[in-house]
């Protein structure tokens, strides 16, 4: 499994498999990273070559901070599963889903789920609406990933190795107390 890691107690003999922490980063697109860096360079150049920024002295630094925040949120997106929950997290946000609430895990593509809210389109965690799913959350970085149906609101995630992550998450859900999956 590409990018997968088990927690530091993974080598202990006799440790139940559900007590291990399974981690996987989100898939990343170099195009998106280069785009953010390019935008920051353009703002920096505009600030440097602007004849006078006295009309809005904090505009350029504010834009640079916002772009850096977006880049950091994108770069720090990741997922982990322990014996009790699935965690989808990034800087300034995330979602925890108890394993017993997960009912279905399926491969999906955000583009095929229909038009989304603008926050979901740009990878910002947001509640969106899809004509095929209804209300849903997204903590993703690319359009291909997994749609996890849990609780009242499904979540879309994009781990590096969707097949391996689905396999491990499915195994953990099935072995969790009260955990059942519908295929």
| Per-residue pLDDT in tens (0 to 9) along the chain, 183 residues | 555 555 544 433 344 454 588 888 888 989 889 999 999 999 888 887 777 656 677 888 889 999 999 899 888 899 999 888 999 988 888 889 999 899 899 998 888 877 665 555 455 556 777 788 888 888 888 888 999 998 888 999 999 999 999 999 998 888 877 766 776
Backbone angles phi, psi at 151, to 5 degrees: 60, -145
Question: What is the chain's mean pLDDT, rounded?
Answer: 80
CA-to-CA dists, residue 52 to 42, 58, 62, 64, 121, angstroms? 16, 12, 16, 18, 35
Backbone angles phi, psi at 106, to 5 degrees: -135, 150
Domain limits, the chain: 28-75, 79-183
> pTM of the entire structure?
0.79
CA distance 17 to 133: 32
CA distance 169 to 82: 9
């Amino acid at each position: 499994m590409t990018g997968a890691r088990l927690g530091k107690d993974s080598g202990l003999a006799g440790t139940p498999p559900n007590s291990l922490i399974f981690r996987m980063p989100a898939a990343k697109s170099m195009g998106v990273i280069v785009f953010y860096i390019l935008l920051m360079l353009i703002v920096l150049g505009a600030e440097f070559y602007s004849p006078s920024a006295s009309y809005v002295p904090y505009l350029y630094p504010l834009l640079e901070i916002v772009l850096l925040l977006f880049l950091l949120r994108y770069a720090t997106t990741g997922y982990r599963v322990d014996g009790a929950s699935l965690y989808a997290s990034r800087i300034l946000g995330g979602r925890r889903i108890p394993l017993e609430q997960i009912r279905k895990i399926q491969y999906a593509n955000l583009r095929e789920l229909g038009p989304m809210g603008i926050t979901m389109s740009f990878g910002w965690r947001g509640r969106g609406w899809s004509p095929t799913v209804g209300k849903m959350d997204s903590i993703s970085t690319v359009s291909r990933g997994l749609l996890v149906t849990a609780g009242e609101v499904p979540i879309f995630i994009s781990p590096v190795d969707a097949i391996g992550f689905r396999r491990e998450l499915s195994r953990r859900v099935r072995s969790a107390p009260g955990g059942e999956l519908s295929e």
